[in-house]
Amino acid sequence: MNRIAIIPGAGKALEIVSAEVHHPGLGEILVKNEAIAIQPLDAKMLLGGYSGAGSLGNYPTVLGTSGAGTVAVVGEGVSEFTVGDRVVFDTRALVKPETNDREGTWQRFVVVSSKTAAKIGNASFEQAVLVNFPLQTAVAALHLYLGMETPGKEQSEEKVLIWGAGGAVGSYAVQYAKSVGYTLTVTASVRDSARQARLGASAVVDYKAADTVEKLRKLGPYKYLFTASGDPTSQQALASLLPDGGRFASVLGGDVELPSNVERVYKPFSQAAQLDENHEWRDWWYKDYLPEVLHKNLIDSVSYTKVTGGLGALQQASTDVFEGKVRGKVIVNPQE
Ligand SMILES: NC(=O)c1ccc[n+]([C@@H]2O[C@H](COP(=O)([O-])OP(=O)(O)OC[C@H]3O[C@@H](n4cnc5c(N)ncnc54)[C@H](OP(=O)(O)O)[C@@H]3O)[C@@H](O)[C@H]2O)c1
């Protein structure tokens, strides 16, 4: 029997319901879901009425686009997975909301396209789910949308600026850009300076200081700029570091006044692998890069708290994430 955390209607709290286990179709696998990491996006959609990443109009709705677990059933036409494989995955639950009853990952058994799953080797489910969603966000922003190279480039004197490197997306962006070969300047809080240096930052600037932008200007110029906090202050700061125009990527949009010669690249980076127009990038992500990262343990993942209570813990845990009460990610095992 499946158990699903549903949002029964707009603004309503989660309810945990029983349902038949789904059957995977052509090219799909059914995964026994053993780890969910609550993303800020999930918490905003559950509690903040946020719909910027996709509509929640088709209530009851099921949140969550990533998870990790064990293949339970293999659908027709799938040759690369067998029952028992340990995998990490993401789904179309947001880019195609009508699928979220089967593909929303806040449930015990999730239907997943075999195109958007990877075997995780000996990595733990927690490690896999901590990495996939925010790393995909960072790499899609830097590589797919801004055009940064893939890892292996020679060491470069050219510089990259990551604003808001303290979170999951930010600290993974730092590690990706470092692995490509760039010299990194980041903004982070003072308490995080030593970790940022360990992850590869050459210069760490306190984003709360009065002279942040002047310091960043002296450390530049930058070939790539990315705000992983996405707040208006960061967007305006990055724009001011592009006096001759240019572009930067941002995890958030919003109505922010920017100079006309500066382009803000704001996309649903976390869903990049779900868009068919990105099929080549998706294949690289799921067949090459992500498995390598997990098998070789190439990313220093953010800290996490594992809460007990299974799907029933998601409501309170989401509230804690929404209210900014937790550092790092909160992980839930839907099988509990
Ligand atoms: N567009 C997309 O596809 C996409 C995908 C994923 C995430 N996002 C969005 O990106 C944001 C970050 O996600 P995440 O998963 O990295 O969150 P997270 O891991 O929870 O990161 C939060 C951390 O970011 C730092 N931070 C918060 N506000 C900041 C600010 N104004 N300036 C600089 N740093 C700040 C803080 O660290 P310190 O206190 O140590 O500084 C905070 O602990 C969220 O708003 C999320 O919704 C967008």
Q: Is 327 touching ligand 1 by the criterion CB < 6 Å?
A: yes
Mean of the per-residue pLDDT values of the chain:
96
Between the CA of 229 and the centroid of ligand 1 the distance, in Å, is 4
Which residue's CA lies nearest to atom 1 of ligand 1?
251
Determine the pLDDT at residue 154.
75
Which residue's CA lies nearest to atom 4 of ligand 1?
251
Ligand 1 test: best mutation among 36, 130, 132, 137, most atoms within 8 Å of CB?
137
Residue 53 has pLDDT above 70, yes or no: no
Per-residue pLDDT tens over the stretch 256-271? 999 999 999 999 999 9
Q: Is 138 touching ligand 1 by the criterion CB < 6 Å?
A: no
Q: Is 164 touching ligand 1 by the criterion CB < 6 Å?
A: yes
For residue 23, the tally of other CB atoms under 10 A from its CB is: 11
Q: Which pLDDT band, with edges at 50, 70 and 90, does 246 fall under?
A: very high
Between the CA of 73 and the centroid of ligand 1 the distance, in Å, is 36
Residue 100 has pLDDT above 80, yes or no: yes
Q: What does the H/E/C string look like for 166-202?
A: CCHHHHHHHHHHHHHCCEEEEEECHHHHHHHHHHCEE
Per-residue pLDDT tens over the stretch 207-222? 999 999 999 999 999 9
Ligand 1 test: best mutation among 169, 185, 193, most atoms within 8 Å of CB?
169
Q: Cα(319)–Cα(130) distance, rounded to whole angstroms? A: 19
Which residue's CA lies nearest to atom 21 of ligand 1?
167
Q: Which pLDDT band, with edges at 50, 70 and 90, does 240 fall under?
A: very high
Give Cα separations from 145 to 69, 232, 257, 262, 311 (angstroms): 30, 20, 22, 15, 34
Q: Is 103 touching ligand 1 by the criterion CB < 6 Å?
A: no
Determine the pLDDT at residue 50.
79
Q: Cα(113)–Cα(28) distance, rounded to whole angstroms? A: 4
Tokens of 69: 């677990």
Ligand 1 test: best mutation among 193, 208, 229, most atoms within 8 Å of CB?
229
What DSSP assignment string belongs to 208-234? TSTTHHHHHHHH---SEEEESS--HHH
For residue 109, the tally of other CB atoms under 10 A from its CB is: 23
Q: Is 192 touching ligand 1 by the criterion CB < 6 Å?
A: yes
Q: Using the structure block, give the residue that is written with the tokens 């922003």.
A: 141
Q: Is 189 touching ligand 1 by the criterion CB < 6 Å?
A: yes
Q: Cα(45)–Cα(60) distance, rounded to whole angstroms? A: 13
How much is the average pLDDT of 278-291? 97
Between the CA of 131 and the centroid of ligand 1 the distance, in Å, is 14
How much is the average pLDDT of 143-149? 97
